Structure 1
Amino acid sequence: MIPAPATVHSAGIDPFLLTSRARIAGDPDAASVLTHLLDALLGETFPIADEGEIALTVDGTGAAESYRLSVDAAGVTVVGADSAGLFYGVQTLAQLVERTADGVRIPAVRIDDAPRFPYRGVMLDVARHCFDVPTVKAVIDRAALLKLNHLHLHLTDDQGWRLHLDSRPELTARGAGTAVGGDPGGFYTKDDYREIVAYAASRHITTVPEIDLPGHTHALGLAYPDVAHDPVVTPDVLAHGERAGEQPPRRGEPYEGTAVGFSSLRIHDDATYDLLRDVLGELAALTPGPYLHIGGDEAHGTDPADFAVFIERASAIVAEYGKTVVAWHEAGAAPGLARGSVGQYWGFVVPLDGMDAKARAFADGGARVILSPADAVYLDMKYDAETRIGLEWANGPTSVRRSYEWEPAEVIPGLPESAILGVEAPLWTETVRTLADIDELAFPRLASAAEAAWSPATGSSELRTWESFRERVAAQGELWTALGIAFHRSPEIPWPESR
Structure 2
Amino acid sequence: MTAPSLPLVPLPASVTLTDAAPYRPADPDDLHLTVTVDASTGGPESSSLQVTERGIRIMAADPAGAFYARQTLAQLETDGVYPAVEIQDAPRFRYRGVMLDVARHFQPVETVRAYIDHAASLKFNHLHLHLTDDQGWRIALDSRPELTEKASGTSALGDPGGYYAQADWTAILDHAASRHMTVVPEIDVPGHTHAVGVAYPGLVADPVISDHILETAEAFGGGIPTRGFPYTGFAVGFSSLKHDDPAVDAFLADVFGELAAITPGPYLHIGGDECLGTDPADYAAFVEKATAIVAAAGKIPVAWHEAGAVAGIHPSTVGQYWNFVQPQEGQDAPARAFATRGGLILSPADVAYLDMKFDALSPLGLVWAKGVTTLRDAYDWEPTAILDGVGEQQILGIEAPLWSETARDLGDLEQLAFPRIGAIAEIAWSPAAAHDWDSFAARIAGLVPRWRSAGIRIP
TM-score (norm 2): 0.97
Q: For residue 455 of structure 2, what is the aligned residue in structure 1? A: 484
For residue 66 of structure 2, the aligned residue among 86, 101, 126 is 86
Q: Relative contact order (alpha carbons < 8 A, sep ≥ 6): 1 or 2 greater?
A: 2
For residue 286 of structure 2, the aligned residue among 297, 310, 329 is 310
Name the amino acid aligned to 1:393: W
Q: For residue 143 of structure 1, what is the aligned residue in structure 2? A: 119
Alignment of 1:365-384 (within 5 A): 365=341, 367-384=342-359
2:92·2:428 contact (CA, 8 Å) conserved in 1?
A: yes
Farther-moved stretch of structure 1 (187-196 vs 237-246): 237-246
Q: How far is 1:79 from its partner?
A: 1.3
Q: For residue 343 of structure 1, what is the aligned residue in structure 2? A: 319
Q: For residue 131 of structure 2, what is the aligned residue in structure 1? A: 155
Partner of 2:119, secondary structure, is helix
Alignment partners' CA distance in 1, 2:37 and 2:336: 38
Name the amino acid aligned to 2:55: G
Name the amino acid aligned to 1:454: W
Q: Aligned pair 1:57/2:36, yes or no? A: yes
Q: Aligned pair 1:208/2:188, yes or no? A: no
Q: For residue 95 of structure 1, what is the aligned residue in structure 2? A: 75
Q: How far is 1:481 from its partner?
A: 2.5
Partner of 2:81, secondary structure, is strand
Q: How far is 1:114 from its partner?
A: 0.2
For residues 241-270 of structure 1, give each alpha carbon's deviation from its aligned partner in whole angstroms, at most 9, with x where no partner exists: 112233111111100000000000110111
Q: Aligned pair 1:18/2:25, yes or no? A: yes
Name the amino acid aligned to 1:217: T
Q: For residue 364 of structure 2, what is the aligned residue in structure 1? A: 389
Name the amino acid aligned to 2:23: F
Q: How far is 1:302 from its partner?
A: 0.2
Name the amino acid aligned to 1:418: Q
Q: How far is 1:13 from its partner?
A: 2.4
Farther-moved stretch of structure 1 (213-222 vs 470-479): 470-479
Q: For residue 469 of structure 1, what is the aligned residue in structure 2? A: 440
For residue 113 of structure 1, the aligned residue among 80, 89, 109 is 89
For residue 412 of structure 2, the aligned residue among 437, 455, 465 is 437
Structure 1 residue ranges (4+ consecutive) displaced by more than 4 angstroms after TM superposition: none
Q: How far is 1:236 from its partner?
A: 1.5
Alignment partners' CA distance in 1, 2:94 and 2:145: 36
Alignment partners' CA distance in 2, 1:441 and 1:81: 34
Identity %: 56
Q: How far is 1:479 from its partner?
A: 2.8
Q: Aligned pair 1:46/2:3, yes or no? A: no
Q: Aligned pair 1:239/2:239, yes or no? A: no
Alignment partners' CA distance in 2, 1:181 and 1:15: 53
Q: For residue 429 of structure 2, what is the aligned residue in structure 1? A: 454
Q: How far is 1:420 from its partner?
A: 0.2
Alignment partners' CA distance in 2, 1:250 and 1:265: 14
Alignment partners' CA distance in 2, 1:54 and 1:242: 59
For residues 8-65 of structure 1, give each alpha carbon's deviation from its aligned partner in whole angstroms, at most 9, with x where no partner exists: 1121222112332xxxxxxxxxxxxxxxxxxxxxxxx513xxxx62212212221000
Q: For residue 337 of structure 2, what is the aligned residue in structure 1? A: 361
Equivalent pairs, count: 451
Q: For residue 164 of structure 1, what is the aligned residue in structure 2? A: 140
1:84–1:54 distance in 2 versus 1, CA, 3 Å = same
2:157·2:221 contact (CA, 8 Å) conserved in 1?
A: no
CA RMSD of aligned residues (A): 1.0
Q: Aligned pair 1:269/2:222, yes or no? A: no
Q: How far is 1:126 from its partner?
A: 0.2
Unaligned runs of 5+ in 1: 21-44, 489-499
Q: For residue 46 of structure 2, what is the aligned residue in structure 1? A: 66
Alignment partners' CA distance in 1, 2:379 and 2:326: 15
Alignment partners' CA distance in 1, 2:25 and 2:329: 55
Unaligned runs of 5+ in 2: 1-7
